[in-house]
């Protein structure tokens, strides 16, 4: 039985800085009125040893981070050996500190050339992704946990967000009231066609990784913890399937499924009800629902028919670290209860290690570690030591 993983998660674009060849970088430059810029981010591209050291010193035994396709293949077919070596050094730095690396291959960002060329809908997309996965596999031989695609169900919703890339899409959005926009976003269902493409990409990547590495391979799904309002069970079933279950079914028979959970939302006859303003809402405007983790875990376990679970993200955007501890402590109680009920949960990776770039916004702080974005000085918060103590003792 391998050790339970207690760790923290990050993604490359959110922490590294100067991810110049990615489509997200381009989006930030083109629409500064909509998105803050990632810029230097946290300079973790250079400071990863310090980040890893802080997590290890606190007592955590796992670190989830991603490798950035846009750096490894900045132009089509031009693979950078130096960037692959960089990510191998990150893996080694994690191992040297006695921690288990969990490596993500795709976390929302694409190389610019890939996006400009039609992105995932282009018929060449999966072959292109596979070429990248083959290159990545050369540094992953001894990595035990690999995530192919992060939150395909959220990515598949981004076809709405992709509209921000065209003047036409932005004009259509400008005519909507904030309420309409929230409703439209909530009612939007992840694009099935895009979801199916990502599922094919996951399966193809799995074949490559299984032959080239000894890794456990899975993808991660954003658990929505949807709840029906009375009389709306049919709509609930429809939305839950479209948003979540069709992605979980892809994980049936996989080595693991990554479950990511933050909040819960109710469904009425018009679909997902946007979070109502409430003083307890978090800095992302989400309802404070630490119990969502239990709901997401149980749904993943049922739908995948018993695929082992790795909690790859769970956390809260708050300026109040005591609240982070309270939220996480309650979420962990729900995890322990699920384990008592027989769910096979292999680890808990908190989102996030650091206060990072939250996809166009710097205000929602999810980190166990604060970062001064001028000096890049890291300051661990009490929640890091608190989670580290749980990691050491195995119990909250």
In the complex with ligand FCB, the residue whose CB is nearer, 222 or 295, is: 222
What are residue 202's phi and psi, to 5 degrees?
A: -60, -50
Backbone angles phi, psi at 295, to 5 degrees: -65, -45
Smallest distance, ligand FCB to C-beta of residue 351, A = 5
* Binding of residue 151 to ligand FCB (CB under 6 A): yes
**Under rule CB under 6 A, residue 109 binds ligand FCB:** no
3 is catalytic: no
With binding defined as CB under 6 A, does residue 150 bind ligand FCB? yes
Which 3 state secondary structure label does DSSP give 378? strand
Q: Is 232 or 347 the residue whose CB approaches ligand FCB more closely?
A: 347
Among 73-81, 96-104, 149-157, 198-206, the segment contacting ligand FCB (CB under 6 A): 149-157
Judged by CB under 6 A, which of 93, 154, 293, 309 binds ligand FCB? 154
Place of tokens 């596999």: 137
Which one, 154 or 371, has the nearer CB to ligand FCB? 154
Q: Which stretch binds ligand FCB (CB under 6 A): 134-142, 150-158, 174-182, 204-212?
A: 150-158
Measure the CA–CA gap between 152 and 14, rounded to whole angstroms. 17
- The yes or no reply on residue 222 touching ligand FCB (CB under 6 A) is yes
What is the Cα–Cα distance from 209 to 365, expressed in whole angstroms?
34
Select the span of 163-171, 331-339, 358-366, 375-383 touching ligand FCB (CB under 6 A): 358-366
Residue with tokens 């996989």: 254
List Cβ neighbours of 26 (8 Å cut-off, separation of 6 or more): 112, 115
- How many CB atoms sit inside 10 A of residue 371's CB? 22
327 near ligand FCB, rule: CB under 6 A: no
CA 271 – CA 273 distance, rounded (Å): 6
Which lies closer to ligand FCB via its Cβ, residue 255 or residue 313?
A: 313
Across 273-377, the runs of DSSP E, i.e. the strands, are: 309-314, 345-351, 369-371
| Whole-angstrom distance, CA of residue 59 vs CA of residue 40 | 28
Give catalytic residues, as residue numbers: 151
Q: Which residues bind ligand FCB (CB under 6 A)?
A: 11, 14, 150-151, 154, 222, 260, 313, 351, 358-359, 366
């Amino acid at each position: 039985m391998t050790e339970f993983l207690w760790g923290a998660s990050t993604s490359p674009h959110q922490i590294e800085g100067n991810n110049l060849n990615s489509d997200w970088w381009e989006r930030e430059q083109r629409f500064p009125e909509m998105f803050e810029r990632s810029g230097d981010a946290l300079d973790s591209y250079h400071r990863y040893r310090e980040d890893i050291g802080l997590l290890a010193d606190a007592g955590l035994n796992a670190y989830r981070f991603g490798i950035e396709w846009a750096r490894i293949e900045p132009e089509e077919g031009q693979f950078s050996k130096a960037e692959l070596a960089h990510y191998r050094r990150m893996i080694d730095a994690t191992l040297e500190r006695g921690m288990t690396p969990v490596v993500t291959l795709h976390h929302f960002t694409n190389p610019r050339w890939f996006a400009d060329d039609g992105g995932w809908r282009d018929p060449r997309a999966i072959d292109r992704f596979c070429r990248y996965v083959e290159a990545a596999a050369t540094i992953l031989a001894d990595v035990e946990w690999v995530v192919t695609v992060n939150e395909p169900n959220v990515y598949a919703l981004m076809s709405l967000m992709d509209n921000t890339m065209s003047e036409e899409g932005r004009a259509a959005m400008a005519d909507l009231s904030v309420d309409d926009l929230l409703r439209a976003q909530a009612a939007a269902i992840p694009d099935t066609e895009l979801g199916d493409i990502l599922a094919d990409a996951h399966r193809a990547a799995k074949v490559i990784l299984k032959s080239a590495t000894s890794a456990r391979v899975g993808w991660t799904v954003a658990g929505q913890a949807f709840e029906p309002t009375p009389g709306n069970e049919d709509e609930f079933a429809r939305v839950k399937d479209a948003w979540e279950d069709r992605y979980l079914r892809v994980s049936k028979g996989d080595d693991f499924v990554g479950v990511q959970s933050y909040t819960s939302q109710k469904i009425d006859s018009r679909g997902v009800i946007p979070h109502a303003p409430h003083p307890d809402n978090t800095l992302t405007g989400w309802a404070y629902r630490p119990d969502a983790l239990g709901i997401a875990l149980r749904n993943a376990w049922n739908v995948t028919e018993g695929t082992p679970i790795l909690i790859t993200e769970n956390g809260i955007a708050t300026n109040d670290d005591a609240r982070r501890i309270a939220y996480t402590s309650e979420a962990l109680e729900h995890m322990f209860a699920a384990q008592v009920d027989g769910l096979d949960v292999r680890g808990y990776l908190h989102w996030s290690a650091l206060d990072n770039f939250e996809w166009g916004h710097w205000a929602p702080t999810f980190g166990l570690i604060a970062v001064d974005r001028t000096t890049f000085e890291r300051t661990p918060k009490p929640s890091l030591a608190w989670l580290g103590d749980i990691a050491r003792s195995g119990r909250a």
